[in-house]
Amino acid sequence: MQHVLSVLDIQDQISDILKQAQIFKQGHGTVEPLKGKTLAMVFEKSSTRTRISFEVAMYQLGGFPLYLSTSDLQLGRGEIIEDTSRAMTRYVDGVMIRAREHQDVVKFSRNSRVPVINGLTNLEHPCQALADMLTILERKGSFKVKMVYVGDGNNVVNSLLLATTLLGMDFTVACPPGYEPDPEITKEAFKIAEKTGSTLEVTPHVQKAVKGADVLYTDVWVSMGDEEEADQRLKDLQAYQINSELLKLADPEAVVLHCLPAVRDQEITEEVLNGPQSAVWDQAENRLHAQKALLYFLLKD
Ligand code: CP
Ligand code: NVA
């Protein structure tokens, strides 16, 4: 049985999942391949895109999604996550969890009888990375491109480090000192890059990094769970905004990505977010297609 807690868990299948996502997006593929299958969706944090796209994905594949907020589960009253997993996974065919602590999702998966999907933790957001790769493939036609992430080295970047290097893309993370991505994941990404030929860099020099980029990517400066550090973060990350001036340094054909939700005039300006080079709304749509492919791959008979 396969869990998807990290992009690494689908390292051998990522290209096939993306191909399947394109098939689903074109309206092709088996009709209702997950008929009779159920997916529990456990949320400990807010969500718009992840919740809706997973719910609609299950419906479109012929299955049934159950939305479960941890505050309504006994988990919210102190039942341990291991027991929640032992009971829950006797009812359903798969579980998607969004949790504060990555370790909780690991504990859940160790006690699960069915595949578990990480719907975002403090460490990774693999489903987002799948949709991002699909968007780059659509807009650029291949992964022979250079992507530059500008801003906080957070959960989204950790998953991007793995996805880009696995697919042979060049990737630079431009972030202030102290805001680098997870060191273990970065080390792993450098190892992968050596095998696949990706050029990987983590640097504080944002203008230099962005020169000639084909894809620019950013995410919020204050992720869920970082609210207490908000003031400091806004100060430290100020020079790492994607605005039209920065965009001019990239390739003229460059596209801009953001996993959303966005905070205008912090990590990105309105002008860029809704400008001609933005692909963020296609990127948001692609959560649906990429997750349909992931669910198909994990839950089909
Ligand atoms: N990008 C993303 O995961 O969005 P939500 O938090 O709305 O699910
Ligand atoms: N880094 C953000 C992503 C939200 C989808 C967060 O964790 O809040």
Question: What does each of the 301 residues of the chain score in pLDDT, given as a tens digit?
Answer: 899 999 999 999 999 999 999 999 999 989 999 999 999 999 999 999 999 999 999 999 999 999 999 999 999 999 999 999 999 999 999 999 999 999 999 999 999 999 999 999 999 999 999 999 999 999 999 999 999 999 999 999 999 999 999 999 999 999 999 999 999 999 999 999 999 999 999 999 999 999 999 999 999 999 999 999 999 999 999 999 999 999 999 999 999 999 999 999 999 999 999 999 999 999 999 999 999 999 999 999 9
Distance 220 CA to ligand 2 centre (A): 7
* Catalytic site includes residue 125: yes
Residues pairing with 149 in the sheet: 173, 217
Instruction: Supply the pLDDT for residue 280.
Output: 98
- 84 with 110: CB under 8 angstroms? no
* From 3, 49, 125, 233, the catalytic residue: 125
Measured from the alpha carbon of residue 227, the closest ligand is 2
Query: Residue 223 CA: which ligand 2 atom is closest?
Result: 8
- Is the pTM above the cut of 0.75? yes
At 189, give phi and psi (nearest 5°).
-65, -40
Distance 133 CA to ligand 1 centre (A): 16
Measured from the alpha carbon of residue 47, the closest ligand is 1
Distance 138 CA to ligand 1 centre (A): 21
* Catalytic site includes residue 98: yes
Instruction: Supply the pLDDT for residue 119.
Output: 98
Q: What is the largest CA-CA distance in the chain?
A: 54
* Catalytic site includes residue 100: no
* From 51, 259, 289, 291, the catalytic residue: 259
CA-wise closest residue to 118 among 5, 233, 231, 237 = 5
Report which secondary-structure segment, H or E, holds 40: strand 38-43
Distance CA 90, CA 93 (A): 8
* From 49, 98, 102, 233, the catalytic residue: 98
| Minimal-distance CA residue to ligand 2 atom 1 | 223
* From 219, 283, 289, 291, the catalytic residue: 219
Amino acid letter, 167 = L
Instruction: Supply the pLDDT for residue 18.
Output: 98
- Where does ligand 2 bind, in terms of residues with CB under 6 Å? 120, 154-156, 219-220, 223-224, 259
